Structure 1
Amino acid sequence: MIASKEGHTEIASLLVFMKVELNAKTRNGHTALMMASYNRYPRIVKILLDAGANPNLVTNEGHTALSEILFSEREEIVRLLMEKGAK
């Protein structure tokens, strides 16, 4: 999760290679995909989506990766999420 939140692309790639749980959640229900999306790391978003991260999981507040960033001027990430079926 920290790699996604802080933008460490190489570490995120290594963790995907090591087959870590891509859809693990924090106590608030945030996933690595949500953190990478919100913090504007499209390369990590793409890595996670291509590896099978679920773009439709929800936080404890009922938000998805897409709904959390939809109105935040992150067009490239919005496009990546929608291409993988995010709702």
Structure 2
Amino acid sequence: MVMTLKAVTPGQRVIVQKLTGQGEIKRRLMDMGIIPGTEIQVQKVAPLGDPVEIKFKGYNLSLRWKEAENILVEAKVAVP
């Protein structure tokens, strides 16, 4: 099921499917390394919901909700 990064709960791992933003926002996300195929784990969400802290490629990053809603992800399937 494809959803935005905003819908992901803390602790959940997802795979980036697509960036929907245009122009500067999309370019900024790509420059940070958030590209299709990247695995992301949501670490924390601030009490008022903004920002959200994610972990990917070995480092933590905080994103605003406005940025997170431009990232389409799919839940990572656990391999037994």
Structures share fold, TM-score greater than 0.5: no
Q: Structure 1 length as normaliser, TM-score?
A: 0.25
Greater share of strand? 2
Q: Structure 2 length as normaliser, TM-score?
A: 0.26
Greater share of helix? 1
Higher relative contact order (CA 8 A, sep 6+): 2
